[in-house]
Amino acid sequence: MLTGCAGGRALRADCEACPAMRRIPAGDASFGSVAGALYQRPDELPRRTIRIERAFAVSSREVTRGQYAAFAHATSRPAGGDCLTDRAHTGQWVYDANTTWLDPGFEQGDDHPVACVSYDDALAYVDWLNSQTRGGYRLLTELEWEYVAAGDAATLFPWGDDKSRGCAFANGFDESTWTKYRGMDTAGYPLFDPLPCRDGWVNTAPVGSLTPNKLGVYDMIGNVSEWVAGCYRASHAPDAAESCDKHVAKGGSWGTLAHNLRTAERFPYAAAHRDDSIGIRIARDL
């Protein structure tokens, strides 16, 4: 089990533009929602435990705008628009042709997580990292993601079941974000539950601004959601139907309400989907 293996070991970055990585030990990884848990969805079941046989590395922070810019510049990759945003009308999210990772609709610095990147963009970024280094870079699997986020904890959130503690660990939709959206009609949101705390950021925060988890990894929950590898499956059952028309983002973001910041929550989207609250975290084989 991961419990007790606190503090994943820091690894040296492979290149100047490469994200810093931490070694994650092998162990028994549980993923999915505990049966009967609050807010659970059918595609989060059944909860399963699978042995991760080999240690691997994970980026200790989300991929930043500066790191992604190095890749985009080196490869001349188009920024790509049609990012889902509410920049035109607060609280009304639409795809906007002019909204890109260069301008997601809110101010960012190079130390903020890149947003408005698709699953295809994430894979292209990983391919570029492999071309610049000894290789082995990839996206986390969903199993690995939940393992890094929460170990074997069977709680709603990695820090426990109390959402009021969330602002210490996660930049989600909290009282700070509510200052932008106050007055928005929430009648269409039967469960409107901002985090009852304040982290100080309305949109994204510089990566690593909050408390890391026991492995020394930051922002697994909140800031931006993170693409994970593979195709979307209708459940966690071994024989579940698979749809490669969709892929999964995990962890919620600055705009995610408390009940959707759960470790088990899954956000399925098409590979070309871009969103002002979805970014990238990477893994590397050791």
Contacts of 170 (CB under 8 A, 6+ apart): 157, 195, 199, 210, 219, 221, 222, 223, 252, 261
Grouping H, G, I as helix, E, B as strand and the rest as coil, residue 21 is strand
Task: Please state the domain count of the chain.
Answer: 1
> Euclidean distance between the first and final Cα of the chain, in Å?
19
197: pLDDT strictly greater than 70: yes
The reply to whether 141 falls in a domain is: yes
Distance CA 268, CA 144 (A): 17
Range of the domain at 136: 9-285
Amino acid code (one letter) for 182: R
The reply to whether 2 falls in a domain is: no
The reply to whether 3 falls in a domain is: no
Q: What is the CATH number of the domain that holds 195?
A: 3.90.1580.10
- Which residue shows structure tokens 């989207």? 269
Write the pLDDT tens digit of every residue in 138-173.
Answer: 999 999 999 999 988 899 999 999 999 999 999 999
- Percent of the chain past pLDDT 70, that is, above it, reads 98
The reply to whether 4 falls in a domain is: no
200: pLDDT strictly greater than 50: yes
Please give the pLDDT value at position 2.
Answer: 42
Write the pLDDT tens digit of every residue in 86-145.
Answer: 999 998 999 999 999 999 999 999 999 999 999 999 999 999 999 999 999 999 999 999
The reply to whether 79 falls in a domain is: yes
**What one-character DSSP code corresponds to residue 34?**
P
